A and B are shown apart, each in its own frame.
Chain A
Amino acid sequence: MWRIYQYRMKSHLMDFGNLFWTMIFPIILSSFFSLAFSNIASSEYFNTIPVAVVVESESVYSDNFLDTLSSVQMDDQKLFEAHTFESVSKAEEAMHNEEVDVLFIYDEALEIRVKKEGMNQTVAKHFADQYTQTESMFAHLAETNPQSLSVLANFEFDASDYISDQNQQRGNVDPMLGYYYALIAMACLFGSFLGLKETSFVEANQSSTGARIQVSPAKKSKIYVGGLLAATTIQVFSISLLLLFITFVLKIDMGNRAPALALATIVGAAAGVALGAFVALISKKNYDVKNSMLTGVSMIMSFFAGLMVHSVKYQIYKNAPVLSYINPANLIADAFYALYYYPDYRRYWINIAILVGLIVAMYAVVIFLARRRSYESI
């Protein structure tokens, strides 16, 4: 197996055509992204987020919320610009007209509504979560330890804590990061070319080397495992190279969760290779047609993950959420996105878990179809 792995590694490394698409092309594309986005990114740094507020029942708590909302700042710039509305319907209308990005409804509890997903909405949701937690803590203290009310009376909600917490994960918020995540996802899916190559190499009805392998006493599973591991290794290396290039050459902050980034890279690379093997076995077309199919599939999936127009990702979320969860490109991009923008790992793990599920499902089909050792025609 080790010998097969080594030779397949060498075969992939000497295949300059595939190496270009899996390793070089994403790096070139990321450089173009960097050139194109450099001015846009600086102009969109930390725009104040317009929000609508509807207070259903006024109280000291609602006043506190409004005060807090208007006092939260980031780099001496207000984070939120609050517009108060008398009714929810008018506020929703304003959101519909895109005058505001988020609607806060303060009744007995704080409710948040958004029209679409995006960075502003994510920031607002985190603020709301943080605020609700803090408020609950105060209420609990007031009920169980009334003596502390005097302390609470002097308490001022410190938004900078929230912002700094976010900052630990987010670094500098770059509105163009979504494009880089989609690019990484596309690069991962380009690993499908390697998966296709491996499958074609082994299957007798797809290549003459496959016929040679099939008539040998070597176990087909051993050849497959060695080859696909080699393909995945090359792909992990390619994606790591892309990440390093984006981080250290283009100076794009990818966050500081290295182990999670590494896992997302490995899972993303494995998903790309699995996709290639899967398509290679379910289609009866020739190698070149399959190669074109994989290029098309990778680009379409990357488009849906926001590679060309970032808002497409959110439109898919909104109108066809299932598609978001079965699109490997979206899951890969979203895993990176979640790592950067979310303080916890919940969304990240959901993406990784679904991706692993997809990989397992694709390889289950590959194992089922690759079990055969004789063919109807070759």
Chain B
Amino acid sequence: MIVRVNDLVKRYGELTALDHLSLEIKEGEVFGLLGPNGSGKTTAINCILSLLQYEKGDVQIFDQKMTPGSYNIKKDIGVVMQNVAVIPELSVYENIDYFCGLYTNDRATRKAQVQEAIDFVGLNDFVKFRPKKLSGGLLRRLNIACGIAHKPKLIILDEPTVAVDPQSRNNILEGIKKLNREGATVIYTSHYMEEVELICSRIAIMDKGRVVAQGTKDELKNMIQIGEKIDIELLDKVCDSFEKDLLALPFVVDVICDKQHIIIKTRQDSNGLNQILNFFSSKNIALGRVFSERPTLNDVFLEITGRELRDGNGNGKVE
């Protein structure tokens, strides 16, 4: 086990930020911590890294107890903070060299590592630039390079794609997958569920300092009642007239009705799409476009917590 978090409790006064949090992260995983803002993801990371004191529990990394003075453990960890942590007065190259130097003393080795990190994040054309001259996306890439240049075995990325353009985001996500392929175990926190679904092999969903569910994305989606979401456009009727009939069907979990647009959530293993199409056919209701999709992690979060994970913009960002 690369990381074992056992019964962690962290309080800020009256507020319980981590409520008996337990996690196990295996070697070679990309482990996602997904949850809305304030769910305790960053606090969990800071406790795992011993940056924060905690009231109860313990953390083991590489099968050793993690403490603030665990330098032998820290040398194999790379951290990419949520906030960009670079020195504004130094160039891209100097920043990576400075932070890499906190891990690697040998000059020649460090030089090679710095160059490799620059290649990795694609900042070759910007090595002499100062951070303030970089765009948001390039700055995030620099932030990542500073965290991973020393070739750590465990990489912790705390919301590395916040405020990043789509192109840079894709580069970053591809980079993380590449690091994982090269042997690094990754802990990835985000409130972008699409990102987590895309790159994480296992996911823990957090809410109010607790892990409310964890597993692979399929395991998580199988934990809930909903097996399928069917989105239908009606051509000549409004849905109010048959909404109750739909809800009465045993394989229907929920119906969201908006005049000539209806979303029907069906149970797991119910072959929902076929049955729904049969239903409309039997009632001679003409259909326009029909979409069917598996439930998202937002549906998982919604069913478990009763709240939306996704924001109103439909961009996968947590409220």
Interface string of B70-108 (1 = CB under 8 A from A): 011011010101011111011000100111011100000
A216 smallest CB distance to B (angstroms): 4
A217 located at the interface, meaning its Cβ lies under 8 Å from any Cβ of chain B in the complex = yes
For B50, give the chain A residue with the smallest CB separation. Answer: A374
Inter-chain contact A14/B102, CB cutoff 8 Å: no
A376 to B43, CA, bound (A): 11
For B73, give the chain A residue with the smallest CB separation. Answer: A217
A11 located at the interface, meaning its Cβ lies under 8 Å from any Cβ of chain B in the complex = yes
A238 to B250, CA, bound (A): 81
Beta-carbon contacts under 8 Å, A1-43 to B: 3-4, 7, 10-15
A212 to B103, CA, bound (A): 11
B312 located at the interface, meaning its Cβ lies under 8 Å from any Cβ of chain A in the complex = no
Mind listing 22 A-B residue pairs with CB under 8 Å?
Answer: A4-B98, A7-B94, A10-B94, A11-B87, A15-B89, A201-B87, A208-B83, A208-B84, A211-B85, A212-B146, A213-B102, A214-B68, A215-B49, A373-B50, A373-B68, A374-B50, A374-B52, A375-B51, A375-B53, A376-B52, A378-B51, A378-B52
Given the interface contacts A11-B89, A208-B81, A208-B85, does A216 sit within 8 Å of B74 by beta carbon?
A: yes
B42 smallest CB distance to A (angstroms): 9
Count A/B pairs, Cβ under 8 Å.
82
Given the interface contacts A7-B94, A10-B90, A373-B50, does A215 sit within 8 Å of B84 by beta carbon?
A: no
Inter-chain contact B101/A3, CB cutoff 8 Å: yes
Interface string of B42-59 (1 = CB under 8 A from A): 000010011111000000
Q: Please, which residues of chain B bring their CB within 8 A of the CB of A372?
A: 68
Q: Please, which residues of chain B bring their CB within 8 A of the CB of A211?
A: 46, 51, 79, 81, 85
Q: Specify the main secondary structure of chain B where it touches its partner.
A: loop
For B68, give the chain A residue with the smallest CB separation. Answer: A373
Inter-chain contact B52/A217, CB cutoff 8 Å: no
Beta-carbon contacts under 8 Å, A326-378 to B: 372-378
Binding site for A on B (CB under 8 A): 12, 46, 49-53, 68-69, 71-72, 74-75, 77, 79, 81, 83-87, 89-90, 94, 97-99, 101-103, 146-147
A209 to B90, CA, bound (A): 13
Q: Please, which residues of chain A bring their CB within 8 A of the CB of B97?
A: 7
Q: Please, which residues of chain B bring their CB within 8 A of the CB of A11?
A: 87, 89-90
For B17, give the chain A residue with the smallest CB separation. Answer: A377
Q: Please, which residues of chain B bring their CB within 8 A of the CB of A375?
A: 51-53
For B54, give the chain A residue with the smallest CB separation. Answer: A374
Given the interface contacts A374-B50, A375-B51, does A217 sit within 8 Å of B89 by beta carbon?
A: no
Given the interface contacts A7-B94, A7-B98, A217-B74, does A212 sit within 8 Å of B51 by beta carbon?
A: no
A217 to B85, CA, bound (A): 17
